[in-house]
Amino acid sequence: MAEVQVELAFSVLDHHGQPLPPDLLHAHGAKLMDALLNLETCNHDMQDPATASDADAGQITVEMLLVAHDPAELAKRALIICRTAIHAIGGRTPDWPSDSPADTRPDFLTKKVEFV
């Protein structure tokens, strides 16, 4: 069994493709944290989620501890959980990676998310 701390960073844009103002970015980061805490209650392979928002970079970072029998599944699970949380708070993930192994390599984990 593998236990890994996973970090996902993504740019956050409005529906016009522009970076969010700092107050909205931080508000979405807080909402995302709430959604991740809700998901933690029904995803027993995920623990200790955290979010951080960086207004200068226009990014939100998500961290979580994941447990898996197959280490190759860790990136895939992180992407699924994070995307579910983003959708739960009204975000869109048009450029999110697919389930293919090439798309779940760590260098593909920086994505863009849109909020309307």
Task: Output the pTM of the full model.
Answer: 0.83
| Cα–Cα distance, 21 to 43 (Å, whole number) | 32
| Cα–Cα distance, 89 to 12 (Å, whole number) | 13
What is the structure's pLDDT at 99? 58
Helix (H, G, I), strand (E, B) or coil at 17: coil
Write the pLDDT tens digit of every residue in 7-63. 889 899 888 889 999 999 999 999 999 999 999 999 999 999 999 999 999 999 999
80-116 core/surface letters (b: 16 or more CB in 10 A; e: else): bbbbebbeebebebeebbeeeeeebeeeebebbbbbe
